[in-house]
Structure 1
Amino acid sequence: MLLRSLIFFFLIASHGFAESISEHWSKIEKKTKAEDWEGAKTPVADAISEYPNERDFRITEAWVWRSSGNPEESLKRIRKAISQWQKDELLKEQLSYSLCSVFDSLYRKAGYKREQLPKEALSIAEEAYQAKDTEWSTNIYGISLRMQKRFKESVQHYQKGIKKYPNAKYYPEELAYSYLEPADEELKKENPKLAIELANKAILLLPENEWANLILAYSWQKLNPEKAIPYFEKAAKLNPTNEHTIPNMGYSYQLLIEYWIKNKENTKITKNFPIIKNYSELPAKQGMSFLRAWVPIADATEEFESLVEFLKKKIIKYPDDIELKILCGSVLNKLNMKQRRSDSSLADSTQRESNRYLREGMELFEKQNPNRLSFKGIQLPLNGKIIIAAAFDGGGTHSGFEKYSYDFLHVDESHSTLRPNTKGTENSDYYTFGESIYAIEGGVVLDTKDGFSDNVVPGEISFGPGNDLQILHDNGLISHYAHIKKGSIRVKKGQRVNRGEKIAEVGNSGMSYGPHLHFTVVTKDWISTYYEWERLKIKTPDQIIFGSQPLEKNWVIEK
């Protein structure tokens, strides 16, 4: 009896009286209700130490560690508990929560950029969903499906989730993104019809979503620009700070104006012109995109005066806008051409004003953009005896952003551009009409236009569009060949061409007084840049020289 009493006394002295389960819960709840997660760890650990087979303490342990911001430790501890109770559904639910918490932690560390999530996040999401189908695990597993581009599965997954968790407010949004992400991919792959089909499903779920409206806008822009405009307008209202939306809406109007002019739908032009003019008031690129829609209207009607007046007023408001100066100079140049039909003195004055705007704009641009890409040693785009009809910074279409441009024509031994016994009243009177044009360097055809008729009467200016093509070269520069003869382009968009390969023939299409080749080299912003030729034999008014330097007006090249 004495021995048992001594043993009991020793146990009490060593360990104290064991606390009841309810007493442990009381201590734990005091900390958790105060959201003192760090403070809750000690009473939870004490409870598990005294009652290692009490499952609910293990569940609470996982919750406390998750809430303290350490989901990895929470996961470690709940896995240990599951090894003891392998089929316990509540523990599986906690496992799912801990896995979801780890996924969210990884997502947060990746700055919510899916492409930066480690691959382990995918398996974590799948395990969380398999452990227990909860509102949380359903969502992160759906996200992981989208990350793997398993979009059809993601759609089915969220549709099922919406039925099971009808109060999950963010599920419709996630389902919408399961449509929008593949829609965006289809748009990039030039599949606008499929992009529209998918985006329409998304916009039913998220009518106020900017991305959904933009995908529909860009997709319709490729198929029917008129249908694109309402979506651009909606996107602009949803996010006025997106600097690309309004300019792209302006581009849709440009496409529409070209189409309406071609099909003589003047009523639609008249109806939409006030909208175009109103948006043209906007500063910088936003207004510029609508001004570019105004220009073809002015070209078709030859109403250049009102556009010039508008541009001059806007330049006073935005004196440092380079594109505005260049555009004003360009429209003034067209006005000069129109005036030249009846009043050459007035036309000369307008031409000087045009050149001033063009040169001021390009001078500002080149000061702000020194050391631009340039070409050296390129091949002349024509063969034979060639005269330089217009050279670098020659005014009009050879100044401003087209400063580094040439006009080329073929001539005979006496440097005449006309065939014997002709008067220059027909295109065929000119040696150059129908002559071959060659690629100045190897590259890929960027774009072509080949459906516009040549001007019938040389000497009579036309302000309509013409045939041209561009080649993107390996150094990133683009060669541009204009006024091409209708039906003569021998290459297609995307085709690889070699240096010296025939690509088209000289024509008289577009804004042209007579048959010639207008040639320039531009950077990807479509602004001309400096270039030099291969070594050429050049006949100046005074002598014959050999060189690759910039050519001057009236020099003759023998190639």
Structure 2
Amino acid sequence: MITSKLNSRLGFPIALLTLFLVSVAGARDLNEYSNKANSLIQSRQWGELEKLMRQGIRDFPDKEWMHSTLNYALREQKKHKEAVEQGREMRRNWPDTEKSANTLSRALTSAASAAYYDGNFAGCLELAEEARQLDQSESSYVWSGNALRKLERFQESARVQEEGLTKYPTNPWLKPNLAATYAAWGKEAEDAQDYDPAIERYIRAHELDPDQSYVLFRLGRAYRAAGKFEEAIKTFKKGRDTFPDAQEFTRAIGYTQLLRFRSVKETASKKELENLAELALQDALKEKDFQSAEYLVTLIGEAYTQTRNADDLRKAMKSMERVFSDPVPLWDSYGRQLYILHRRQGPVPAAAKEESLSYRRKAMSEYERKHPGRPLITNLPLPLKNRFVVWAEFDGDYMTHTGFAKYCYDFARVDASGQPLRPGGKRLQAADYWMFGEPVYSMTEGKVVSVVTDQPDNNGGEYGSQGNSVTVETEDGYYAFYTHFKKDSISVKEGQNVRAGTKLGLAGNSGMSTEPHLHVCLYDSEWVSLPFRFTPIRIKSPEGSKLTSDPLRQGWIVEAGG
């Protein structure tokens, strides 16, 4: 009866009044929410902060800072999608405030960052651009520029990041990211052989981030490809001095000097060429090993070959021999170059040939002593399918079959009587040989890693330099090398996988060859030849006919397929 009267006087049931009083007594005021939120932020309890702010928003739905703090908690928990949705709702409720714009922008750029690292560059760009339209924040420029770069929209990326860098010159990410954009944009131009814009972009990348060695290396490479050898050498030397642990700069200097020499060797005077050789020698003597000075050694050899100066070639070799920690590869290189120097002038004098062979053999003997247990490759199929003669055996009296090329053969097709010339053919006329145009087949499975096919075929005793060739890398990490192919006859391409028996091309007379033949070797990763054996084959020799898998000897005739 009393309760009924009280309900009537207050206008609502006493039970509801009791619930209201309990609720008011348990509610936090704004200061309590603020203090508790700060405490949770300090202790990085993001899940608890989210719960607190959701409760606070129910109690005080018009407090913008609570919505912003909730978004912060969601972002820290990497709830990116939820944070973006909540940020957009907040923006709808407060469409004109800076806080709502900044909150949504942060949610968008956090989501953009996650999309970027997930490889979703288009999604990253969409989110970052929405953020950039809101408040042009630092992060929006960072992620828009990065996404555009990954999408290979380099010009747009550079424009966005340049604008961002102007607005935020102290941002720690914009400069290196913009440098990466210019570097990638430069490489695009370099790959298209558009070297002037490539150089400009690499220069800008280096200005922005001088600590990146790869940018300086690419700049030197672009200068070199454009034929600006002096600028390239200067750039590579700067890289060598700035990044002393980056060995690629030292080799690049030597290679660039070699290319500069080759660009002028047919037009420069003897004195100019030998001056270049002397400069190369001075640089080579600053190095401690052959590998670092390899291109310089090649330049010295080619220069003195061009000027026919065997004495100064020998003196240069002796100087480097005293400096290099391991002279073995120098001996091999010198022996080869000395032979070529004399061969370009005609028949090689006996003394020069002996000196050449002795240096190359000394090099290989020492190399094999230092590397015992090198593999023997067995059971290979023949690279030719018709009868052929062995013109050069392993470690024979030919310069190209000694030293590091010790385990190489020369083969030439012959007729039933053992003759290499077709009926009525003339010696030193390439097309008159049975071997000219003979199909050559791969001895191994593997991937074609190098092809040269544009060198002319020699006639009349001419003697070239580089021959048309194919190199196949096997799964076991060694290389099968075939050379002297007929010009434009190679039928495989770089990157192509081949099987044993795949046709590679047609035999010819290119390179260091006066008569058509096939030069074939197997090499290890250091480009030192490896011994190998064929499957048992029938051979004819002065001693008779036999089936053998022994190393082939000079003068033997191989009945291919026999």
TM-score by length of 1: 0.74
Take 2:253 and 2:379, find their aligned partners in 1: how far apart are those partners?
34
Aligned to 2:557: 556
User: Retained in 1: the 8 A contact 2:389–2:413?
Assistant: yes
After TM superposition, the structure 1 = structure 2 runs for residues 46-61 of structure 1, keeping only pairs within 5 Å, are 47-61=56-70
User: Retained in 2: the 8 A contact 1:336–1:350?
Assistant: no
Write the letter of the residue equivalent to 2:218. Answer: I
User: Retained in 2: the 8 A contact 1:377–1:548?
Assistant: no
Aligned to 1:147: 150
User: Retained in 1: the 8 A contact 2:390–2:409?
Assistant: yes
User: Retained in 2: the 8 A contact 1:532–1:550?
Assistant: yes
Which residue, out of 509, 522, 530, partners 1:506?
509
Take 2:29 and 2:246, find their aligned partners in 1: how far apart are those partners?
63
| Offset, 1:470 | 0.8
| Offset, 1:398 | 1.1
Take 1:351 and 1:206, find their aligned partners in 2: how far apart are those partners?
49
Cα RMSD, aligned residues only? 4.9
Please state if 1:258 is matched with 2:259: no
User: Retained in 1: the 8 A contact 2:383–2:442?
Assistant: yes
Aligned to 1:470: 469
| Offset, 1:186 | 4.6
Which residue, out of 391, 394, 403, partners 1:392?
394
Write the letter of the residue equivalent to 1:53. Answer: D
**Structure 1 range deviating more: 119-128 or 429-438:** 429-438
SS of residue in 2 equivalent to 1:99:
helix
Aligned to 2:203: 203
Aligned to 1:72: 79
User: Retained in 2: the 8 A contact 1:92–1:132?
Assistant: yes
After TM superposition, the structure 1 = structure 2 runs for residues 222-301 of structure 1, keeping only pairs within 5 Å, are 222-224=225-227, 226=229, 227-266=231-270, 268-280=272-284, 281-283=287-289, 285-300=291-306, 301=309
Give the 3 Å change call, closer, same or farther, for CA 78–49 of structure 1 in structure 2.
farther
| Offset, 1:455 | 7.5
Take 2:184 and 2:468, find their aligned partners in 1: how far apart are those partners?
34
| Offset, 1:56 | 1.4
User: Retained in 2: the 8 A contact 1:71–1:98?
Assistant: no
Which residue, out of 362, 365, 369, partners 1:359?
365
Structure 1 regions of 5+ residues with no counterpart? Answer: none
Write the letter of the residue equivalent to 1:206. Answer: H
Write the letter of the residue equivalent to 1:197. Answer: P
| Offset, 1:446 | 0.6
Take 2:295 and 2:379, find their aligned partners in 1: how far apart are those partners?
29
| Offset, 1:181 | 1.4
Give the 3 Å change call, closer, same or farther, for CA 48–341 of structure 1 in structure 2.
same
Aligned to 1:407: 410
SS of residue in 2 equivalent to 1:235:
helix
SS of residue in 2 equivalent to 1:407:
strand
Take 2:243 and 2:365, find their aligned partners in 1: how far apart are those partners?
37
| Offset, 1:59 | 1.2
Give the 3 Å change call, closer, same or farther, for CA 347–446 of structure 1 in structure 2.
closer
Please state if 1:174 is matched with 2:177: yes
Please state if 1:191 is matched with 2:192: yes
**Deviations along 1:89-131, whole A, 9 cap, x unmatched?**
5324212212323444566xx5xxx8x5687545544554455
Give the 3 Å change call, closer, same or farther, for CA 263–162 of structure 1 in structure 2.
same
| Offset, 1:431 | 7.7
Give the 3 Å change call, closer, same or farther, for CA 228–181 of structure 1 in structure 2.
same
Give the 3 Å change call, closer, same or farther, for CA 456–379 of structure 1 in structure 2.
closer
Take 2:296 and 2:251, find their aligned partners in 1: how far apart are those partners?
7
**Deviations along 1:498-530, whole A, 9 cap, x unmatched?**
9668735337x64x6x64636023458554445
User: Retained in 1: the 8 A contact 2:455–2:487?
Assistant: yes
Write the letter of the residue equivalent to 1:469. Answer: N
Aligned to 1:136: 139
Which residue, out of 212, 215, 218, partners 1:215?
218
After TM superposition, the structure 1 = structure 2 runs for residues 477-496 of structure 1, keeping only pairs within 5 Å, are 477-482=479-484, 489-491=487-489
**Deviations along 1:230-276, whole A, 9 cap, x unmatched?**
33223333433233332233222222223332333545534443442
Take 1:493 and 1:310, find their aligned partners in 2: how far apart are those partners?
45
Take 1:427 and 1:271, find their aligned partners in 2: how far apart are those partners?
37
User: Retained in 1: the 8 A contact 2:391–2:554?
Assistant: yes
Take 1:252 and 1:354, find their aligned partners in 2: how far apart are those partners?
27
Write the letter of the residue equivalent to 1:481. Answer: T
Take 1:441 and 1:454, find their aligned partners in 2: how far apart are those partners?
27
Please state if 1:318 is matched with 2:326: yes
SS of residue in 2 equivalent to 1:149:
coil
User: Retained in 2: the 8 A contact 1:362–1:401?
Assistant: no
Take 1:433 and 1:263, find their aligned partners in 2: how far apart are those partners?
38
Write the letter of the residue equivalent to 1:540. Answer: S
SS of residue in 1 equivalent to 2:551:
coil
User: Retained in 1: the 8 A contact 2:452–2:468?
Assistant: yes
**Deviations along 1:36-93, whole A, 9 cap, x unmatched?**
4339938756644532321112213333554xx42427x6356336435515353242
Aligned residues: 523
Give the 3 Å change call, closer, same or farther, for CA 336–265 of structure 1 in structure 2.
closer
User: Retained in 1: the 8 A contact 2:342–2:349?
Assistant: no
| Offset, 1:308 | 3.0
Take 1:391 and 1:270, find their aligned partners in 2: how far apart are those partners?
36
| Offset, 1:358 | 2.0
Take 1:81 and 1:434, find their aligned partners in 2: how far apart are those partners?
78
**Structure 1 range deviating more: 269-278 or 412-421:** 412-421
Take 2:235 and 2:491, find their aligned partners in 1: how far apart are those partners?
29
Structure 2 regions of 5+ residues with no counterpart? Answer: none
Give the 3 Å change call, closer, same or farther, for CA 435–451 of structure 1 in structure 2.
closer
Give the 3 Å change call, closer, same or farther, for CA 474–355 of structure 1 in structure 2.
closer
SS of residue in 2 equivalent to 1:388:
strand
SS of residue in 2 equivalent to 1:480:
strand
Q: Percent identity?
A: 17
Which residue, out of 317, 330, 333, partners 1:308?
317
Give the 3 Å change call, closer, same or farther, for CA 136–502 of structure 1 in structure 2.
closer
Give the 3 Å change call, closer, same or farther, for CA 117–328 of structure 1 in structure 2.
farther
Write the letter of the residue equivalent to 1:361. Answer: Y
Take 1:393 and 1:230, find their aligned partners in 2: how far apart are those partners?
43
